């Protein structure tokens, strides 16, 4: 796989009036990478993606797509981008085939290859049966898939997906994630999500942004290796004082989530979970839940944003 | 090339809305009533109307009323052009595609113009039907149709600009109507001002230039007026969309 840089972002800044939505963001994306964009609502994810696609003009900074400067050579740069906004940009009064044909024309797919491009894109997104149907009559899951089909129709070098799995049922989510992984083999993919487990299963690298600032840029593999401690959550009916929990063998850190729930960090190599359940039984703390924490990414996310955790796997 | 792609899709989508068909039907119906009334007046024996000739009374009269009817309905046709794209997010599809804002604006404009030309063709059929029984002053008819065509093109450009200003189609319709109405009657403002002011205001008035052409005087001043008006509103639209991208 050639290691060439498909997206280079330098000092990207965007103001809405006096409000700074994105501040001095710099990163690069290589071919074959799947970059996850994480952050609480209002962190500037969508704004950043819109600037990468040329939908919004940055107040400051530079975006280079496959060697073309987006501001100086927008046509050349946009040729290499496929974009799925948060709400799929569909014309409800067209049929799926009409719409995809129009998108292929907009993206300058040569007319000789257009039919093949539409067919390939429909096949990839499972839309073969829906070709003749009116988009307005199809379900939300179909809309999302048509949105993805539209973004990949011209085989772009970079595919940018804004929350691509929102509103899909679980089996469709698995399909779309598989599709994203497939795309990641050939193209660069940037996707934003508020579902941490999704970033963890799909992405090869994550960026966490908060209040418009980049606070983490790390390959996921590195994050997994770094994690040697065990983290889990326990719930007790009659919780003792924090100091008593802290005193249990192998417990490194205790953090009270609410009156009955605690996040426990155990020392590497210790059996803190066993020790805790034994003490709970012996001293009548009423242990009714003990679960491993959702994972590294969530820990890091919480640490960095110091906010409410997003639902680990909350699908609407 | 890309302009025609966008225009074609726009036109196809217009013909898939009920509103477009309803507008075509209502305009045709209203004008048919006026056409019939004018013809009736002309055929009545002994009136002064007959002396002025068939073309002047029936054809020019119908086209004049067509101008007023279009003033009312054309904002309904142009209101969706950009406001709905902004509202539903499909503008992002166009603005992330490798095409310029000028191409997008021209494409949408040509799309709606195509629709209006269909309407013009249908309106033209009414006067042309008179050819079955009598001769017409084809020169005056041609100038009249040109006048109505240019008027439609100007209405479309103004309406397109107003629809870039808001995300609400209804607001774009009412705003477009207000803008057209002001341009239509702005010569009234000339009566109260000095000579120079009067000249400016009466030059700006749509009605003056429309009536001039309709009477059969093909004057390049009138044609240039319409072309300038169209070009400036299209340029304003591009400018406005670019500002949205930069400052919104």
Q: CB–CB of B12 and A86 under 8 A? A: no
* Domain housing B230: 2-247
pLDDT of residue B2: 87
Q: CB–CB of A150 and B91 under 8 A? A: no
Output the furthest CA–CA distance in chain A (Å, rounded): 77
pLDDT at A23 over 90: no
Tens digits of per-residue pLDDT, A167-206? 777 887 888 888 888 888 878 899 888 777 778 788 888 8
Phi/psi for A272 (5° steps) reads -65, -30
The answer to whether residues B147 and B66 touch, using CB atoms and an 8 Å cutoff, is no
pLDDT of residue A45: 87
**B contact residues 94-153, partner A, Cβ 8 Å cutoff:** 94-100
Q: How many Cβ contacts (< 8 angstroms) between chains A and B?
A: 75
Q: Which of A24-33, A40-49, A239-248, B143-152 has the highest mean pLDDT?
A: B143-152
pLDDT of residue B150: 94
- A contacts of B81 (beta carbons < 8 Å): none
For chain A, say whether B92 makes contact (Cβ under 8 Å).
Answer: yes
Average pLDDT over residues A50-58: 89
Mean pLDDT, chain A, rounded, equals 82
- Mutation site, A66, A95, A105, A107, interface B, largest B CB count within 10 A: A105
Nearest CA in chain B to A156: B97
The answer to whether residues B205 and B191 touch, using CB atoms and an 8 Å cutoff, is no
Nearest CA in chain B to A151: B93
Residue from the list A78, A90, A98 with its beta carbon closest to the beta carbon of B96: A78
In the predicted model, residues of chain B with pLDDT beneath 50 are none
Tens digits of per-residue pLDDT, B136-182? 888 888 989 999 999 999 999 999 999 999 999 999 999 999 999 99
Q: By percentage, how much of chain A surpasses pLDDT 90?
A: 15
Rounded distance between C-alpha atoms, residue B184 and residue B64, angstroms? 13
pLDDT of residue A1: 40
Q: Collect all residues with Cβ–Cβ distance below 8 Å to B83 and sequence separation of at least 6.
A: B163, B164, B166, B167, B168, B169, B171, B172
pLDDT of residue A314: 41
The answer to whether residues B78 and B160 touch, using CB atoms and an 8 Å cutoff, is yes
Residues of A with CB under 8 A from a CB of B: 16, 50, 53-57, 74-76, 78-79, 81, 83, 85-91, 93-94, 98, 102-103, 105-108, 150
Tens digits of per-residue pLDDT, B41-52? 888 776 665 667
Assembly ipTM: 0.85
pLDDT at A268 over 80: no
Rounded distance between C-alpha atoms, residue B169 and residue A16, angstroms? 24
- Domain annotation for chain A: domains and CATH numbers: 5-224 (3.40.50.300), 228-294 (3.30.70.100)
pLDDT of residue A3: 54
Residue from the list B5, B17, B94 with its beta carbon closest to the beta carbon of A93: B17
pLDDT of residue A181: 84
Rounded distance between C-alpha atoms, residue B40 and residue B13, angstroms? 39
- B contacts of A51 (beta carbons < 8 Å): none
For chain A, say whether B93 makes contact (Cβ under 8 Å).
Answer: yes
Q: How far is CA A41 from the centre of its chain?
A: 12
Which residue is associated with the tokens 């530079």?
A62
Q: CB–CB of A78 and B98 under 8 A? A: yes
A24, A47, B18 from A103: Cα distances, Å: 33, 23, 24
Q: How many domains does chain B have?
A: 1
E strand residue ranges, A220-250: 230-236
pLDDT of residue A106: 92
pTM of the model: 0.82
Q: CB–CB of B90 and A89 under 8 A? A: yes
Q: Which of A5-9, A61-65, B227-231 has the highest mean pLDDT?
A: B227-231
Tens digits of per-residue pLDDT, A224-263? 544 455 677 888 888 888 888 888 877 877 878 778 888 7
Residue from the list A88, A91, A108 with its beta carbon closest to the beta carbon of B98: A108
In a 3-state reduction of DSSP, which class is residue A26? strand
CA A82, A85, A87: angle at the middle one, nearest 5? Answer: 140
pLDDT of residue A224: 52
pLDDT of residue A298: 66
Q: How far is CA A297 from the centre of its chain?
A: 12
Tens digits of per-residue pLDDT, A80-136? 999 999 889 999 989 999 999 999 999 999 989 999 999 999 988 888 888 889 999
Q: CB–CB of A74 and B98 under 8 A? A: yes
As given in the structure block, the two tokens for residue A275 are: 């020790």
pLDDT of residue A222: 55
pLDDT of residue A315: 42
- B contacts of A75 (beta carbons < 8 Å): 98-100
The confidence band for A313, taking pLDDT boundaries of 50, 70 and 90, is: very low
């Amino acid at each position: 796989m050639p290691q060439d840089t498909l997206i280079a972002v330098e000092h990207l800044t965007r103001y809405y009036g006096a409000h700074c939505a994105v501040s001095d963001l710099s990163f690069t994306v290589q071919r074959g990478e799947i970059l996850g964009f994480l952050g609480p609502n209002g962190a500037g994810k969508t704004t950043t993606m819109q600037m990468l696609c040329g939908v919004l003009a940055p107040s400051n900074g530079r975006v280079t797509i496959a060697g073309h400067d987006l501001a100086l050579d927008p046509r050349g740069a946009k040729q290499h981008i496929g974009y799925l906004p948060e709400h799929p940009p569909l014309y409800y009064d067209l049929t799926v085939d009409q719409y995809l044909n129009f998108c292929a024309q907009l993206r300058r797919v040569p007319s000789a290859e257009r039919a093949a491009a539409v067919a390939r894109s429909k096949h990839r997104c499972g839309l073969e049966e829906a070709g003749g149907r009116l988009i307005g009559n199809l379900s939300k899951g179909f809309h999302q898939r048509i949105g993805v089909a539209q973004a990949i129709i011209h085989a772009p070098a970079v595919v940018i997906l804004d929350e691509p799995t929102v509103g899909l049922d679980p089996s469709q989510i698995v399909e779309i994630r598989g599709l994203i992984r497939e795309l990641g083999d050939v193209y660069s993919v940037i996707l934003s999500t508020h579902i941490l487990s999704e970033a963890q299963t799909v992405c090869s690298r994550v960026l966490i942004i908060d209040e418009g600032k980049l606070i983490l840029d790390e390959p996921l593999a590195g994050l997994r290796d770094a994690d040697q401690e065990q983290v889990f959550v326990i719930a007790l009916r009659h919780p003792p004082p924090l100091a008593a929990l802290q005193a249990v063998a192998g417990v490194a850190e205790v953090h009270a989530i609410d009156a009955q729930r605690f996040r426990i960090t155990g020392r590497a190599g210790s059996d803190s979970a066993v020790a805790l359940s034994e003490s709970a039984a012996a001293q009548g703390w009423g242990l009714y839940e003990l679960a491993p924490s959702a994972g590294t990414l969530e820990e890091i996310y919480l640490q960095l944003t110091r906010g409410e955790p997003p639902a680990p796997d909350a699908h609407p | 090339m890309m302009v025609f792609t966008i225009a074609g899709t726009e036109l196809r989508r217009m013909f898939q809305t009920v509103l477009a068909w309803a507008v075509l039907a209502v305009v045709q119906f209203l004008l048919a009533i006026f056409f019939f009334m004018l013809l009736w007046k002309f055929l009545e024996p002994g009136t002064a109307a007959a002396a002025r000739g068939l073309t002047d009374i029936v054809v020019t009269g119908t086209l004049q009323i067509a101008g007023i009817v279009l003033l009312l309905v054309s904002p309904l046709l142009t209101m969706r052009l950009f406001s709905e794209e902004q509202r539903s997010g499909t503008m992002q599809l166009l603005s992330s595609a490798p095409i310029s804002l000028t191409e997008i604006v021209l494409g949408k404009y040509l799309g709606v113009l195509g629709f209006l030309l269909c309407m013009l063709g249908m309106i033209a059929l009414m006067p042309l039907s008179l050819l079955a029984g009598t001769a017409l002053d084809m020169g005056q008819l041609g100038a009249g149709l040109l006048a109505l065509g240019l008027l439609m093109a100007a209405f479309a450009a103004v309406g397109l600009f107003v629809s870039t200003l808001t995300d609400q189609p209804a607001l774009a319709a009412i705003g477009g109507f207000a803008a057209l109405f002001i341009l239509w009657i702005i010569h009234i403002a000339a009566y109260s001002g000095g000579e120079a002011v009067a000249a400016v205001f009466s030059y700006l008035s749509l009605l003056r230039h429309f009536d001039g052409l309709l009477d059969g005087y093909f004057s390049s001043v009138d044609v240039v007026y319409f072309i300038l008006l169209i070009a400036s509103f299209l340029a304003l639209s591009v400018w406005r969309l670019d500002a949205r991208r930069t400052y919104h």
